[in-house]
Chain A
Amino acid sequence: MLADIEKYLYREVRLLDERRFEEWTDLYTEDGYYWVPAYPNQDDPYKAVSIFFDDREVMRTRLSRLDHPNVHAQKPASRTVHVVSNIEIDENHNVDGEVLVHSTLQMMEYRLDNQTSYGGRAQHLLLKTNDGFMLKWKRVDLINCDSSFGPLAVPF
């Protein structure tokens, strides 16, 4: 099981690094979402601002924009590498057909002579399917979530 989950999470972030955004969006269930809170210890995305809080519709819009020929903030595009580690299955999450996974996540981003690193804790709620998993949600709590950022484009 852990090996399958590792494989799934590695592929998930590889799709981002390879800018295969449509395939990444398709990992999510129809009601799935991707959330990066702008403050630590959040329990509700409607109580405070979020760096990302995307349902599939917003995700698709955001990421298809990155393929637009004149998306200036990504001309030239960022190169990223994600590192997933310290993967743990949450043993207290006892919902049939679901697996809650905790991990640590780092992303290095390079663009225009600048290299930036981001890091934090990730959670994935996976739904078991016949041929693997679907992503119900992914949440990333950056250690610098409430700092002053430069512009961001690629999901963590």
Chain B
Amino acid sequence: MTAYNNSALRELVQPDRVHRDFYINPEVFDMEMERIFGRIWLFVGHASQVPNNGDYITTTVARQPVIMSRDRKGEVHVMFNRCTHRGSQVCLEQSGNTQRFECPYHAWVFNTDGRFAGAPYPKGYEDGFLAKEKLDLVKLPRMEIYRGFVFVSLSTDVPDIDVFLGPMKDHIDAFCDRSPEGEVEACAGVFRYRYSGNWKLQMENQTDVYHIMFTHVSTTDEDGKQFRREGAEEDEAGKVKVLAQDSRLDDQWEEHPLGGHRHGHVYMGRFAMDKKNSGPIYDRYKASMEDAYGDKAEDLMTVKTHNSIFYPHWSIQHLTQHIRVMNPISVDCTENIIIPLKLKGAPEEMWHAALRSNNNSHSPSGMVMSDDMEVWVRCHEGLKTQSTDWVVLARGMNENFTGDNTGSYESHGTSESGARNQQVAWVDYMCGEG
């Protein structure tokens, strides 16, 4: 019997503060896995991670090992990585290409679409048993693919994906439409890293403009250098620039646009320090976009959002060009998967610059992520103290919102509205009203 009935759960989230149990209580975490991660659309990967028939990747969805594969007809499947005989995982490689998955225990085999393809010594079963029993690898209850973004849910009882994404669908479109071919491609592998802190610390951090000039001071003050996010622009010697010339920050942040929508989705506007590109590479890009989209090209090329944060666990980082998945491992451990994305048909130099930008800022050695991770770990440790129960998220409570954090809203700058919007969704899901 849980100590957390709905009224206790509601008590954890006040309008301008949350209780520390929200982050550090293992029982709350288990309930989140069931009531949030178990009931809504989650992100698994991008279909271009399995480009050819027979390709697969393995990953986890809400702590459960899964396989995403492309079968011999080219269809994508997401299934639990669990033999239907005695439970062993049937595949441990991170990625590969195969004709079939074979269980190491008794060599039961499954096709790449998950279908049961045979067990050795079949005479040991009653006549017809193997044909009658449901022995295919079990698919996740729901799967949808939108522009290559593969979503699954652990329950059949989820709203339509369009309803769930709502206006956030436009953010996926905006990202894909920067490609002259209207497609993005995950063709450079992934980074994985872990930190010893709760998953929500990062979800909230991604909406937090307030921390940038302090957590990241070593890359943003007078002597610091931020990395260019959007490629590509050459220097005088014709080399593609990877460093921004001036990353100093000032009051521009107070004006920075933020916003969000129902179901906990939030976003940040483009950073003023991310200047527009120019030069021959960019001109080539522009020409290819104009060929593809005519008058609309200029608007499509202009990146308007820094990030789009989809509740509960993934985001698009538009200028850095990656998808970030935050997979909860336990109440105090979170694994990040960074999936860089190429804009198909854009100049190769732009992709190279984007790849380097990801290496520099979002690899395990990344100059941006390493300071963030340090802070989340310190938060998680600090919250274990009995000093006070409350985490204060009152910035921007005095702001005139358009909206009220329960529907679409816009806010500004260093407001903590994004975290609050996620927490509104958290209460709804946890109390069964999502």
Please judge, given known A-B contacts A58-B360, A62-B367, whether A68 and B188 are in contact too, CB under 8 Å: no
Please provide the chain B residues from 335 to 393 with a CB less than 8 Å away from any CB of chain A in the complex: 335, 338, 340, 351-352, 355-356, 358-360, 363-365, 367, 369-371, 373-375
Question: With A and B bound together, what is the CA distance between A146 and B351 in angstroms?
Answer: 21
**Interchain nearest-CB distance for B191 vs A (Å):** 6
Q: Are A150 and B242 in contact (CB under 8 A)?
A: no
Q: Are A39 and B192 in contact (CB under 8 A)?
A: no
B352 contact from A46, A68, A73, Cβ within 8 A: A46
Please judge, given known A-B contacts A65-B224, A148-B194, A148-B335, whether A73 and B189 are in contact too, CB under 8 Å: no
**Interchain nearest-CB distance for A10 vs B (Å):** 23
Question: With A and B bound together, what is the CA distance between A92 and B365 in angstroms?
Answer: 33
**Interchain nearest-CB distance for A5 vs B (Å):** 27
Residues from chain A with Cβ under 8 Å of B193 in the complex: 148-151
Question: With A and B bound together, what is the CA distance between A152 and B192 in angstroms?
Answer: 12
Question: With A and B bound together, what is the CA distance between A29 and B389 in angstroms?
Answer: 55
Is B215 at the interface (CB under 8 A from chain A)? yes
| Listed stretches A17-25, A48-56, A82-90, A120-128; interface member | A48-56
Question: With A and B bound together, what is the CA distance between A68 and B222 in angstroms?
Answer: 11
**Interchain nearest-CB distance for A1 vs B (Å):** 33
Mask of A54-70 contacts with B, CB within 8 angstroms, 1/0: 10011001101100101
Question: With A and B bound together, what is the CA distance between A147 and B363 in angstroms?
Answer: 12
Q: Are B225 and A61 in contact (CB under 8 A)?
A: yes
Question: With A and B bound together, what is the CA distance between A39 and B94 in angstroms?
Answer: 11
Residues from chain A with Cβ under 8 Å of B335 in the complex: 148
Is B394 at the interface (CB under 8 A from chain A)? no
Question: With A and B bound together, what is the CA distance between A38 and B225 in angstroms?
Answer: 24
**Interchain nearest-CB distance for B208 vs A (Å):** 15
Q: Are B217 and A48 in contact (CB under 8 A)?
A: no
Is A143 at the interface (CB under 8 A from chain B)? no
Please provide the chain A residues from 111 to 156 with a CB less than 8 Å away from any CB of chain B in the complex: 146-153
Residues from chain B with Cβ under 8 Å of A48 in the complex: 188-189
Question: With A and B bound together, what is the CA distance between A57 and B195 in angstroms?
Answer: 29
B373 contact from A52, A71, A146, A151, Cβ within 8 A: A151
Q: Are A38 and B191 in contact (CB under 8 A)?
A: yes
Is B218 at the interface (CB under 8 A from chain A)? yes
Question: With A and B bound together, what is the CA distance between A58 and B351 in angstroms?
Answer: 18
Please judge, given known A-B contacts A71-B371, A73-B374, whether A152 and B217 are in contact too, CB under 8 Å: no
**Interchain nearest-CB distance for A48 vs B (Å):** 4
Total chain B interface residues with beta-carbon distance under 8 A: 38
B362 nearest in chain A by CB position: A49
Q: Are B192 and A58 in contact (CB under 8 A)?
A: no
Question: With A and B bound together, what is the CA distance between A49 and B219 in angstroms?
Answer: 22
Is A7 at the interface (CB under 8 A from chain B)? no
Q: Are A50 and B370 in contact (CB under 8 A)?
A: no
Residues from chain B with Cβ under 8 Å of A147 in the complex: 192
Q: Are B192 and A52 in contact (CB under 8 A)?
A: no
A68 contact from B94, B217, B375, Cβ within 8 A: B217
Is B243 at the interface (CB under 8 A from chain A)? yes
Is B33 at the interface (CB under 8 A from chain A)? no
Please judge, given known A-B contacts A68-B224, A153-B370, whether A51 and B188 are in contact too, CB under 8 Å: no
Residues from chain A with Cβ under 8 Å of B355 in the complex: 46, 49
Q: Are A149 and B219 in contact (CB under 8 A)?
A: no
Question: With A and B bound together, what is the CA distance between A73 and B375 in angstroms?
Answer: 8
Please judge, given known A-B contacts A58-B242, A73-B371, whether A50 and B363 are in contact too, CB under 8 Å: yes
Question: With A and B bound together, what is the CA distance between A146 and B191 in angstroms?
Answer: 8
Residues from chain B with Cβ under 8 Å of A64 in the complex: 223
Question: With A and B bound together, what is the CA distance between A33 and B369 in angstroms?
Answer: 22
Is B212 at the interface (CB under 8 A from chain A)? no
Is B427 at the interface (CB under 8 A from chain A)? no
Q: Are A53 and B359 in contact (CB under 8 A)?
A: yes
Residues from chain A with Cβ under 8 Å of B367 in the complex: 61-62, 65
B191 nearest in chain A by CB position: A49
Mask of B310-338 contacts with A, CB within 8 angstroms, 1/0: 00000000000000000000000001001
Mask of B166-209 contacts with A, CB within 8 angstroms, 1/0: 00000000000000000000001111111100000000000000
B214 nearest in chain A by CB position: A70
Q: Are A73 and B373 in contact (CB under 8 A)?
A: yes
B363 contact from A38, A68, A71, A146, Cβ within 8 A: A38
Question: With A and B bound together, what is the CA distance between A73 and B370 in angstroms?
Answer: 6
List 21 contacting pairs A-B, 8 Å CB cutoff, sorted by A: A39-B189, A46-B352, A46-B355, A47-B188, A49-B188, A49-B355, A50-B363, A57-B242, A58-B360, A61-B225, A61-B367, A62-B360, A64-B223, A65-B367, A72-B375, A147-B192, A148-B192, A149-B194, A149-B364, A151-B365, A153-B370
In the A-B complex, the 9 residue pairs with the smallest Cβ-Cβ separation, listed nearest first, are: A149-B364, A68-B218, A73-B370, A151-B370, A152-B365, A148-B192, A71-B218, A73-B374, A48-B189
